[in-house]
């Protein structure tokens, strides 16, 4: 590539490690829930950067926070603290069950911290054998070696043996299986309130309540991975708030920065104080830039207007998608919570979700898959109703082409 030439999609194949398979077009500008590619074609964004762009693209509140902080202080390292990170920590503590926060750069890092803390809790319990972790099939917790092992999808971990030991995968929503597996050697249970990557599958209230009771009985830490469900995605600030269940540790990322990389693990004093200086860390975690943006994003989302608006928009999506399904009959179920939406293909269309998403892109709509059989939408939490309606029209054109192919 000539240094002065415009990058193109072929450059990805030439220069990038092939761990992703991006679309053939390259977005270059975004505003709200609209995007434009290199050729000026416009797209409506129902993907939201995989549940990241909670306020859409280039929201003025986030841009203002980034620019103002960018003129003050970018990075100082973990030998010092900074004002934006302390303000953000206070926001998280004041608005959740937690007493303490550990900041990092991604959901995987947040889950890594949570799992390490759980193992430390087990060790300090007085039993060197209390290191067993219960996780669930079809889960996704990240791609570090520890988190990819905790995720219950062998396709992501099988090529990287030997894997960390002591992680046991059970069927999701099967409390009897957990009851049989959990014991005095179990240090943690890690669960997503809604399995996002696994197909947009919601944990039942009875399942989550049962996990809480079993963890209490066996002295295990209950970890909620809210990387995808957190910061307003379900219509509550965090999905646990839709239940009567309070975890011991919660992980959050994605929407927390509204597009700027940041993650966090939050927990109570009881467990936070089992970590000591040097037990864990990160160079960039809680840096002033990320923290300033996250402060602005979190503060805007954590309002009745935005959270109630998620529920209103979710109903518009549900009504529109059900109408489309009545016409085309492709989906077995439209499921999810808030603006984490999964369209589950009928058996005769199994494995075709990616084909539909590709057609949607050609029609000017960004969408996602959640496994081979589910089309997933995770749009901005404040997407205008007009954009929802226009996006569903583009989705209908994609469905019509799919049926007619």
DSSP per residue, 84-108: HHHHHHHHHHHTSS-SEEEEESSHH
Confidence of residue 170 (pLDDT cuts 50, 70, 90): very high
Give me the pLDDT at residue 1, please. 56
- Residue 213 annotated as binding site: no
CA distances, 53 to each of 113, 149, 220, 257, 371 (Å): 24, 27, 34, 8, 21
Q: Chain centroid to CA 32: how far?
A: 20
Query: Average of pLDDT values for 178-203?
Result: 98
Radius of gyration of the chain (CA): 21
- Residue 251 annotated as binding site: no
CATH 3.90.1150.10, domain 9-58+304-404, yes or no? yes
Q: What is the percentage of the chain residues whose pLDDT exceeds 70?
A: 99
- Residue 143 annotated as binding site: yes
Confidence of residue 2 (pLDDT cuts 50, 70, 90): low
Q: CATH topology for 61-301? A: 3.40.640
- Residue 97 annotated as binding site: no
User: CA-to-CA distance for 154 and 344, rounded, in angstroms?
Assistant: 22
Is the pLDDT score of 27 beyond 90? yes
Q: In what order do the strands lie in the sheet with 221-225?
A: 100-104, 263-267, 249-252, 221-225, 186-191, 132-136, 167-170
* Tens digit of each residue's pLDDT (9 = 90 or more) over 42-87: 999 999 999 999 999 999 999 999 999 999 999 998 899 999 999 9
Q: Where are the domains of the chain?
A: 9-58+304-404, 61-301
* Tens digit of each residue's pLDDT (9 = 90 or more) over 88-145: 999 999 999 999 999 999 999 999 999 999 999 999 998 899 999 999 999 999 999 9
- Give the chain's mean pLDDT: 97
Query: Average of pLDDT values for 299-328?
Result: 98
Give me the pLDDT at residue 5, please. 82
- Residue 282 annotated as binding site: yes
- Residue 108 annotated as binding site: yes
Beta bridge pairs of residue 360: none
Is the pLDDT score of 405 beyond 80? no
Query: Average of pLDDT values for 236-254?
Result: 98
- Residue 28 annotated as binding site: no
- Residue 226 annotated as binding site: yes
- Residue 228 annotated as binding site: yes
- Residue 267 annotated as binding site: no
* Tens digit of each residue's pLDDT (9 = 90 or more) over 348-375: 999 999 999 999 999 999 999 999 999 9
């Amino acid at each position: 590539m000539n240094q002065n030439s415009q990058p193109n999609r072929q450059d990805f194949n030439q220069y990038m490690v092939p761990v992703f398979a991006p679309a053939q077009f390259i977005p270059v500008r975004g505003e709200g829930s609209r995007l434009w590619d290199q050729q000026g074609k416009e797209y409506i964004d129902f993907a939201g950067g995989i549940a990241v762009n909670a306020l859409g693209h280039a929201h003025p509140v986030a841009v203002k926070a980034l620019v103002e902080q960018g003129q003050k202080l970018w990075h100082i390292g973990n030998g010092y603290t900074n004002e934006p990170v302390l303000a953000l920590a206070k926001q998280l503590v004041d608005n959740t069950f937690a007493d303490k926060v550990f900041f990092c750069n991604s959901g995987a890092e947040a889950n890594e911290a949570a799992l390490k803390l759980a193992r430390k809790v087990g060790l300090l319990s007085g039993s060197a054998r209390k290191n067993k972790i219960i996780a669930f099939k079809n889960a996704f917790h990240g791609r570090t070696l520890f988190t990819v092992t905790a995720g219950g999808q062998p396709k992501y971990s099988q090529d990287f043996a030997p894997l960390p030991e002591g992680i046991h995968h059970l069927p999701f929503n099967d409390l009897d299986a957990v009851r049989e597996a959990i014991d005095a050697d179990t240090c943690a249970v890690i669960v997503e309130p809604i399995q996002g990557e696994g197909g947009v599958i919601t944990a039942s209230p009875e399942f989550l309540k049962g996990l809480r009771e079993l963890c209490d009985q066996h002295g295990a830490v209950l970890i909620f991975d809210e990387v995808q469900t957190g910061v307003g995605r379900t219509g509550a600030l965090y999905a646990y708030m839709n239940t009567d269940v309070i975890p011991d540790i919660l992980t959050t990322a994605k929407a927390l920065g509204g597009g700027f990389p940041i993650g966090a693990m939050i927990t109570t004093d009881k467990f936070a104080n089992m970590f000591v200086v040097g037990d864990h860390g990160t160079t960039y975690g809680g840096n002033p830039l990320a923290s300033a943006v996250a402060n602005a994003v979190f503060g805007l989302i954590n309002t009745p207007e935005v959270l109630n608006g998620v529920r209103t928009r979710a109903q518009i999506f549900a009504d529109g998608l059900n109408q489309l399904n009545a016409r085309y009959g492709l989906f077995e179920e439209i499921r999810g919570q808030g603006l984490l939406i999964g369209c589950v293909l009928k058996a005769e269309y199994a494995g075709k979700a990616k084909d539909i998403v590709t057609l949607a892109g050609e029609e000017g709509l960004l969408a996602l898959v959640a496994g081979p059989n589910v089309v997933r939408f995770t749009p901005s939490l404040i997407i205008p109703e007009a954009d929802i309606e226009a996006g569903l029209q583009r989705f209908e054109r994609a469905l019509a082409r799919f049926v007619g192919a």
